[in-house]
C-alpha cells in the first residue's frame, strides 16, 4: 500500500525541497536585497550550491530547481535542461524539484517577475536567465577546481559534471563540491558567454521527460492526491448563476448527515466539511439556500448575446478601442479595387481540466500553508491574502502537479475556498474538491466573440488594407483591472493573434468590450483561437477571390519574413499541396500562425460525413527557434491540434438566463480517441530565441478546416464550433 | 462494513453502502492512482477492474464490490501486463498532464488481454474511446498500447 510520502519518482521528488533547498544558495539575477541574500546564503542540508537554482550533492546527484507549473507541457524537464546545458552536467545524475514560491529568486521576467505559468511564456521568459545561471555555476566550479588543482582556470574545460585539465587530470563536480567555497563575488556572466547552438549537448536532443515514468504507472501525485494527517474534505455549494450570493441558508439537514463536521458560510457560497468527500457532497445537496437575484449574468441568453455581438461588430461607427492602428485602413478600404467582408462568431468554451479544481490548506495561527495544482503561486498568494486576510509573508504555497491547466489554473478561486474553510477550522487540514458541475458552472470560459473583418485589394489583387473588429467580454479587464486600465483598455489576451506578420500596409484592429457578467478567462490559445480563425479564413477567401493559390498568396504576404515562408513551403511539400491525389470528396485546407513568436504552417485533409467535417490528416511545420526538446514540440503541437479540433467540432457553452446548459460531459462533448486524425509535425529549428509552443497548434487548425470545406463545396464557415455543412 | 479484495489483498472498509467505490479506494485505502474526473462515468479517469472487467468506480456503489476482486492501477503495475504497458507509455512519451493515464492504462490492459492479434492504430483508438484525454495524447497512447502488445507476445516491440 502506498504511503502519503511516496515520491513522484526516485529522481523527481516534488517534496524534497521542503526538507532542504540545499547548499549555499545565492541570488543570481533577480535583484536581491542584502538581507535576502544573507537568508539565501544560509547553509542548507549539504552539498554545494553555486547559486539558488543548483545544488551539487556530495554523492554527485545534482538537484535543479524547476520554477514553473508542470501541466503536461514538459517544463519540469525543459527548465532544468537549460541549467544543465550551460553547466555541462551529466543529465543522468540530475534530480528535479519544484522550486519554492519565491518570486525574487525564481520569478518569470515575462510576468514581471511573478511565479506564473501561462501564455506560452515559460521557455520564452526563462531561456536566458537559466542559461546564465548555469553558465555562472559552471564558472564557479571551474574556478574552485583551478584552486584545488593548482592550475590556471584557462587550462580547464568541463564535460558531464567533470572539470578536466589539459593534462588529462580531472575532478568531478562532486569532488569539487567537497572543497569549494562560494566566492565572495560571483563570476559575472553575460549573453556572449552562452554556448552557440552548434555546441548544445542537451538542447535540441530528445531527452525523455522526467515526469513521464510516474505518470505512466499511476504514481504521480496531483493536488487532489494531497494527504495530510487529520485532513477533512469540503464541498462548496456555489450559485447556479455566476455572481449571485447566498441570501439565506438552512443547513439543518446538511448538519444532520453522519460524518459532517462543519458547515461554513462563504461570501459566495456554503461549504460542507466532512470526513469524506462523498459525505460532504451528499450533505451539500441537502442545503437549502436562497440566492440573490441581482447578478448581471442573469439577463444573458447565448442567442441574444450572439445577435447583439454580431450587430455591434458590424456597426462601423462604433469604433471601440484602437488595438492596432497601422496606417489608414479606412482610407485604403475606401479606395480599394475590391473588398471582402465577413462576420464571424465563436461560442463560449470550457476548459475541462480532467483534474477538477481543488486545493488543500492548513491554518496555524496567522499562518497558512496551501497545496494547489495552480498555474500561478503568485495568484494563489494574492487570492488567499485577499479572501482570508493572511499576510503574504505568512502564506506558504506548494505547487503540485496539475491535471490539466489550459489557462484555467492561472486564477485561483479554489484557493479562496480552501483558505476560508481552513481559517474557520484552524489546525485541521482541509481539502476542497470541486465537482465537474461546479467546474463547468464557475469556469472562466473562452469568451463569446463577434468579429467583423473587411479586407481590400488593389487592381493586382494585392492586400492593401485590413480592418479587424472584435466584440468580446474582457479578460484582463476582470482579472487585472489596473493593468487593463494602464494599457488604455487594450485587453491583450482577448486580442492576441490580431497582430500579424503578413505585410499589409494599412491594418486597423478595434476592440469593443462587453461586460455581461459571465466570466471570461484564459484558455488554451485564448485570443488566437478565434482571431486567427477569422483572419486565416478571410485571407483564404481573398486569395480564392483574386484567383490566387492560398499558399502562394500567403508566401507573397510573407516576403519580408523568411521564417514564415519556410514553414509554409515545408508544410506544402509535406502535404503535396496542389498535387496530392485525394479520395473523392476530400480536400486540403491551409492556415498559418505566428503567435507566441513561433511560426507554424498547417494543412489538413478533410471530408464531409453526415454534414460534419471529418479531419483525416494534419501536417504541420513549425519553427520555434531553438527547439528545446523536438519530440515534445511535436507532442505539444499535436496536443493543441486535438484541443483545437475538439473545440472546432464539438464545444460550446450555452446560457439561458445566465444558467449554463452544459454542466458535465454528457452534455458537453470533447474529442475522443476514435475521432483523432493522424498528426505529422516537422520541427524546423532555427538559431533564434525560442518562441512558445504549448498553444501553437490550435489557432491554425480550425481555419484550415474551414478552408478545406470551402474547397469541397464552396461554403464559407464563419462560426466556432463549425456549423453543419 | 464492505468486504472485498483489492489488488489481491482482503480488505474490509467502513463506508456507507451507496458511497462510490472511487472514494473508498482514494480516501479509505489511500490508493490515489484512480482519479476523479466527472463523477458520471463519462471520462474514464476512475476506471478500475471488477472481477477483471473495467468499471467506472465513480458511479459504482461500494456495496456492488462486496465479495469481488478489485484491481486498481497500483495492482496492475505489479503484473507483466502493467509493466509492459508502463514501458510502452514511457517509450511513446505518452502522458502530458498524465491525469487520465491511470484510466487509460486500465482500459488498455483489458483491450490487450482480450485481443490476441496485433491491433491497428484505428482499432486501438476505437477500443480506447471511452477514456478522455484532454491533452490530446490519443495517438501516443495507441502507439504505447501497440508496443505493449508486442512486448507481451514476446516479439520485438
Domain boundaries, chain B: 2-75, 79-152
Per CATH, domain B79-152 is 1.10.150.120: yes
pLDDT, residue B155, reads: 61
Residues of chain A contacting B73 with CB distance shorter than 8 Å: 217-218
pLDDT, residue A275, reads: 97
Q: Return the exposure string of A433-470: e unless at least 16 CB atoms fall within 10 Å of the residue's CB, then b.
A: bbbbbbbbbbbbbbbbbbbbbbbbbeeebbbbbbbbbb
Of A567, A673, A671, A579, the closest CA to residue A620 belongs to A567
In the predicted model, is pLDDT for residue B110 greater than 60? yes
Q: Coil, strand, or helix at residue B77?
A: coil
Structural contact between residues A234 and A432, judged by C-beta atoms closer than 8 angstroms? yes
CB contact under 8 A, A354 and B35: yes
Structural contact between residues B84 and B148, judged by C-beta atoms closer than 8 angstroms? yes
pTM: 0.94
pLDDT, residue B115, reads: 84
- C-alpha cell belonging to residue A149: 588543482
Q: CA B2, CA B61: separation in Å to the nearest integer?
A: 11
Q: Return the exposure string of A104-143: e unless at least 16 CB atoms fall within 10 Å of the residue's CB, then b.
A: ebbbbebbebbbbbbbbbbbbbbbbbbbbbbbbbbbbbbb
CB contact under 8 A, B43 and A672: no
Structural contact between residues A530 and A346, judged by C-beta atoms closer than 8 angstroms? yes
- Which one of A354, A616, A620, A639 would you mutate to disrupt binding with B, by most B Cβ within 10 Å of its Cβ? A354
pLDDT, residue A31, reads: 29
CB hemisphere CA count around A326 (13 angstroms): 17
Greater confidence, A74 or B156?
A74
Residues of chain A contacting B43 with CB distance shorter than 8 Å: 354, 665
Assign B116 a pLDDT band (cuts: 50, 70, 90): confident
CB contact under 8 A, A212 and B72: no
Q: Coil, strand, or helix at residue B49?
A: strand
CA geometry: angle at A689 spanning A402 and A109, to 5°? Answer: 55
Ordered by where they begin, the domains of chain A are 16-209 (3.30.365.10), 223-294+357-433 (3.30.365.10), 302-348+445-720 (3.30.365.10)
Q: CA A692, CA A101: separation in Å to the nearest integer?
A: 23
Q: What class, spelled out in words, does domain B2-75 have in CATH?
A: alpha beta
- C-alpha cell belonging to residue A203: 538542447
Q: CA B21, CA B144: separation in Å to the nearest integer?
A: 28
Question: Helix H segments across A41-107?
Answer: 75-87, 103-106
- Which one of B29, B30, B38 would you mutate to disrupt binding with A, by most A Cβ within 10 Å of its Cβ? B38
Question: What is the chain A residue with the closest CA to B45?
Answer: A354
Q: Is the ipTM of this complex over 0.90?
A: yes
CB contact under 8 A, A71 and B82: no
In the predicted model, is pLDDT for residue B22 greater than 50? yes
Average confidence (pLDDT) per 10 residues, chain A, 725 residues: 32 26 26 34 65 94 96 97 98 95 95 94 96 97 97 98 98 96 91 97 96 97 98 98 98 98 98 98 98 97 98 97 94 94 98 98 98 98 97 97 98 98 98 98 98 98 97 97 95 97 96 98 98 98 98 98 98 97 98 98 98 97 98 98 98 98 98 98 98 98 98 98 96
Of A594, A592, A593, A683, the closest CA to residue A632 belongs to A683
CB contact under 8 A, B93 and A632: yes
Residues of chain A contacting B133 with CB distance shorter than 8 Å: 354, 673
Residues of chain B contacting A433 with CB distance shorter than 8 Å: 36
User: In Å, how far is A386's CA from the nearest CA of chain B?
Assistant: 29
Give chain A's largest Cα–Cα span.
Answer: 82
- Which residues, 6+ apart, have CB-to-CB distance to A185 below 8 Å? none
Stated length of chain A:
725
Amino acid at each position: 500500500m502506498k504511503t502519503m510520502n511516496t515520491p513522484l519518482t526516485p529522481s523527481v521528488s516534488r517534496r524534497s525541497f521542503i526538507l532542504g533547498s540545499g547548499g549555499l544558495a545565492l541570488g543570481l539575477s533577480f535583484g536581491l536585497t542584502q538581507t535576502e541574500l544573507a537568508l539565501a546564503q544560509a547553509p542548507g542540508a549539504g552539498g554545494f550550491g553555486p547559486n539558488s537554482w543548483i545544488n551539487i550533492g556530495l554523492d554527485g546527484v545534482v538537484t535543479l530547481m524547476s520554477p514553473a507549473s508542470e501541466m503536461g507541457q514538459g517544463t519540469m524537464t525543459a527548465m532544468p535542461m537549460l541549467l544543465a546545458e550551460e553547466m555541462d552536467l551529466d543529465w543522468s545524475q540530475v534530480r528535479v524539484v519544484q522550486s519554492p514560491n519565491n518570486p525574487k529568486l525564481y520569478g518569470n521576467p515575462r510576468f514581471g517577475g511573478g511565479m506564473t505559468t501561462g501564455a506560452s511564456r515559460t521557455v520564452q521568459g526563462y531561456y536566458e536567465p537559466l542559461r546564465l545561471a548555469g553558465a555562472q555555476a559552471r564558472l564557479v566550479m571551474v574556478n574552485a577546481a583551478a584552486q584545488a588543482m593548482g592550475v590556471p582556470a584557462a587550462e580547464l574545460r568541463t564535460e558531464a559534471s567533470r572539470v578536466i585539465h589539459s593534462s588529462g587530470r580531472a575532478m568531478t563536480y562532486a569532488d569539487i563540491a567537497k572543497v569549494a567555497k562560494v566566492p565572495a563575488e560571483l563570476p559575472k556572466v553575460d549573453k556572449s558567454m552562452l554556448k552557440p547552438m552548434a555546441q548544445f549537448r542537451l538542447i535540441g536532443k530528445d531527452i525523455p521527460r522526467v515526469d513521464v515514468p510516474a505518470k505512466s504507472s499511476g504514481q504521480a501525485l496531483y493536488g487532489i492526491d494531497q494527504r495530510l494527517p487529520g485532513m477533512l474534505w469540503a464541498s462548496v455549494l456555489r450559485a447556479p448563476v455566476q455572481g449571485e450570493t447566498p441570501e439565506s441558508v438552512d443547513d439543518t439537514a446538511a448538519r444532520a448527515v453522519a460524518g459532517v463536521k462543519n458547515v461554513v458560510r462563504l461570501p459566495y457560497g456554503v461549504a460542507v466539511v466532512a470526513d469524506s468527500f462523498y459525505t460532504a457532497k451528499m450533505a451539500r445537496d441537502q442545503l437549502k439556500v436562497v440566492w440573490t437575484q441581482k447578478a448581471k449574468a442573469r439577463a444573458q441568453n447565448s442567442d441574444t448575446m450572439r445577435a447583439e455581438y454580431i450587430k455591434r461588430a458590424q456597426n462601423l461607427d462604433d469604433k471601440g478601442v484602437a488595438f492596432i492602428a497601422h496606417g489608414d485602413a479606412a482610407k485604403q478600404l475606401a479606395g480599394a479595387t475590391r473588398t471582402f467582408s465577413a462576420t464571424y462568431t465563436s461560442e463560449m468554451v470550457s476548459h475541462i481540466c480532467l483534474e477538477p479544481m481543488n486545493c488543500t490548506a492548513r491554518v496555524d495561527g496567522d499562518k497558512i500553508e496551501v497545496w494547489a495544482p495552480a498555474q500561478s503561486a503568485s495568484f494563489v498568494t494574492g487570492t488567499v491574502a485577499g479572501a482570508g486576510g493572511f499576510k503574504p509573508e505568512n502564506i506558504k504555497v506548494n505547487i503540485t502537479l496539475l491535471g490539466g491547466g489550459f489557462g484555467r489554473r492561472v486564477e485561483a478561486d479554489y484557493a479562496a475556498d480552501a483558505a476560508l474553510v481552513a481559517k474557520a477550522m484552524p489546525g485541521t487540514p482541509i481539502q476542497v474538491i470541486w465537482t465537474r458541475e461546479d467546474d463547468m458552472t464557475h469556469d472562466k470560459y473562452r469568451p463569446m466573440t463577434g468579429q467583423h473583418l473587411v479586407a481590400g485589394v488593389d487592381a493586382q489583387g494585392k492586400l492593401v488594407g485590413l480592418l479587424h473588429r472584435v466584440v468580446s467580454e474582457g479578460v484582463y479587464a476582470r482579472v487585472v483591472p489596473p493593468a487593463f486600465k494602464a494599457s488604455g483598455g487594450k485587453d491583450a489576451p482577448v486580442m492576441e493573434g490580431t497582430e500579424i506578420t503578413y505585410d499589409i500596409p494599412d491594418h486597423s484592429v478595434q476592440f469593443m468590450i462587453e461586460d455581461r457578467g459571465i466570466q471570461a478567462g484564459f484558455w488554451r490559445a485564448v485570443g488566437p483561437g478565434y482571431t486567427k480563425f477569422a483572419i486565416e479564413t478571410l485571407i483564404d477567401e481573398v486569395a480564392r477571390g483574386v484567383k490566387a493559390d492560398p499558399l502562394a498568396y500567403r508566401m507573397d504576404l510573407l516576403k519580408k519574413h523568411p521564417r514564415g515562408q519556410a514553414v509554409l513551403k515545408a508544410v506544402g511539400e509535406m502535404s503535396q499541396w496542389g498535387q496530392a491525389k485525394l479520395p473523392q470528396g476530400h480536400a486540403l485546407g491551409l492556415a498559418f500562425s505566428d503567435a507566441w513568436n513561433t511560426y507554424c504552417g498547417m494543412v489538413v485533409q478533410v471530408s464531409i460525413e453526415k454534414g460534419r467535417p471529418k479531419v483525416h490528416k494534419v501536417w504541420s511545420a513549425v519553427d520555434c527557434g531553438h527547439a528545446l526538446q523536438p519530440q515534445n514540440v511535436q507532442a505539444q503541437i499535436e496536443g493543441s491540434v486535438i484541443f483545437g479540433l475538439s473545440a472546432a467540432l464539438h464545444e460550446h457553452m450555452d446560457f439561458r438566463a445566465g444558467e449554463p446548459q452544459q454542466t458535465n460531459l454528457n452534455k458537453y462533448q470533447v474529442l475522443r480517441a476514435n475521432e483523432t486524425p493522424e498528426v505529422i509535425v516537422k520541427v524546423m529549428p532555427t538559431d533564434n530565441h525560442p518562441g512558445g509552443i504549448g498553444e501553437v497548434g490550435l489557432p491554425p487548425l480550425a481555419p484550415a478546416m474551414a478552408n478545406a470545406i470551402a474547397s469541397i463545396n464552396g461554403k464559407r464557415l464563419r462560426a466556432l464550433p463549425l456549423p453543419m455543412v | 462494513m464492505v468486504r472485498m479484495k483489492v489488488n489481491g489483498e482482503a480488505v474490509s472498509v467502513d463506508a456507507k453502502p451507496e458511497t462510490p467505490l472511487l472514494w473508498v479506494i482514494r480516501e479509505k485505502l489511500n490508493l490515489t492512482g484512480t482519479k476523479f474526473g466527472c463523477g458520471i462515468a463519462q471520462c474514464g479517469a476512475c476506471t478500475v477492474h471488477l472481477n477483471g472487467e473495467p468499471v467506472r468506480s465513480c458511479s459504482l456503489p461500494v456495496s456492488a464490490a462486496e465479495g469481488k476482486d478489485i484491481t486498481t492501477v497500483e495492482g496492475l503495475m505489479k503484473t507483466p501486463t502493467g509493466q509492459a504497458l508502463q514501458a510502452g507509455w514511457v517509450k511513446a512519451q505518452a502522458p502530458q498532464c498524465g491525469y487520465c493515464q491511470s484510466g487509460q492504462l486500465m482500459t488498455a490492459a483489458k483491450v490487450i488481454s482480450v485481443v490476441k492479434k496485433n491491433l491497428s492504430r484505428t482499432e486501438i483508438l476505437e477500443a480506447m474511446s471511452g477514456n478522455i484525454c484532454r491533452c490530446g495524447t490519443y495517438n501516443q497512447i495507441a502507439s504505447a498500447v501497440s508496443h505493449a502488445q508486442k512486448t507481451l507476445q514476446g516479439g520485438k516491440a
